[in-house]
Structures are given as C-alpha cells and as structure tokens.
Amino acid sequence: MTAGHRTPDGNRPWLSRDGGEAQVMPEGRRPWLPRDAAEARARVAEALDVAEAATGVGLSAQARGDALLVASELVTNAMRHGGGLTGFGVEIHRGVVTITVADQSGELPRLADAQGRKRAFGPAEGGFGWPLIRLLAREIRLCLLPQGGKTIEVRLPLH
C-alpha cells in the first residue's frame, strides 16, 4: 500500500493490513494520538492481532515484543524530548510492521559519547531506547517537516 492510496470513499487509510484496510481516517479529522506509551503499545498490539487474523500467520513472541518495545520507545522519546507527540501510525504489509511517530522538535536524535554527552553529528543515538530501536529495526527514516517538527518511521520484520 502506498502513502497516496485512498479508499473508494476518498479517505486515507491510517492502519492497514495485508489484504485491505483495517480502519480509515476520514479527511479533515485529526488523527488519533496515544496519550502515552501504553496506548501506543495497545494500538500496535491491535494491529498485529488484525494482521494475524487476516493472514492466518502467527507472529513469534520476539517479533511482537520487538514491535511493542519500539512503539513504546518512540512515543516516550517524542513526549520527553520532542516537544510532544503530533502523529502516530502503524501499518503492516508483507511481513513488515511500520511504526511512525511525529513530534514538534526539529532536532534529530544525536550520538552520545562515553560520558553520556550528546554529540551533534552522526547517526542518531541517545539513552537506552534509541540504540534498541536501531538494533531491532530493518530500516529507519528520519524526516524534518517543512512546518517544523520531525517524523521517525521504523520498519521491523515480523518473521
């Protein structure tokens, strides 16, 4: 499913699974945002359950745990360091879960040196969460938004 895909009624899917849309976000409505990491984990778990039911393929406990951990860390970082959460999405397609989080900060995550001080160059890394995300992810995309803020998109294998 591509980012520009629309359902027959003109809405954009915000949560998809192999074989079709699970739910859609009508034009003009604000997207649902989790209040905390627990709500984000619940939404990802729901999406994983929908994908399992639709495909009949069960996920390993490790794949499920990795997806829940990444969602939790992304949302926590956006709330603690990114000025607040402005977007959240989860999509499952062809054995990969994509978790997207947007926040208000235009500052990309930074490397930490051996003393824990942030360095202003290199791939993103911080406390414990960001290295875990980098370890588990198949792909990470960081995008600064023209109106301010950033989006972090993480893709994880489910098999």
* Res. 110: pLDDT tops 80: no
Distance CA 44, CA 17 (A): 12
Q: Dump the DSSP string for 65-117.
A: HHHHHHHHHHHHHHHHHSSSEEEEEEEEETTEEEEEEEES--PPP-EE-TTSP
| Nearest one of 101, 89, 107 to 46, comparing CA atoms | 89
Residue 147 structure tokens: 């109106």
Supply the pTM of this predicted model: 0.74
* Distances in whole angstroms, Cα of residue 100 to Cα of each of 14, 55, 105, 129, 151: 10, 23, 15, 16, 7
Pairing verdict, β 139-144 and 96-103: unpaired
Handedness of CA 140, 47, 93, 11 (dihedral sign): negative
| Nearest one of 13, 4, 15, 20 to 98, comparing CA atoms | 15
Q: How confident is the model at residue 129 (pLDDT cuts 50, 70, 90)?
A: confident
CATH of domain 47-157: 3.30.565.10
Mean of the pLDDT values across residues 52-68? Answer: 94
* Res. 11: pLDDT tops 50: no
For all residues of the chain together, what is the average pLDDT? Answer: 79
Task: Output 41 or 21, whichever has higher pLDDT.
Answer: 41
| Nearest one of 86, 120, 121, 90 to 103, comparing CA atoms | 86
Task: Output 39 or 129, whichever has higher pLDDT.
Answer: 39
Q: How confident is the model at residue 111 (pLDDT cuts 50, 70, 90)?
A: low
Instruction: Please report how many Cα atoms fall inside a 13 Å half-sphere around the Cα of residue 19, on the Cβ side.
Output: 7
**Residue ranges covered by each domain of the chain:** 47-157
SS3 25: strand
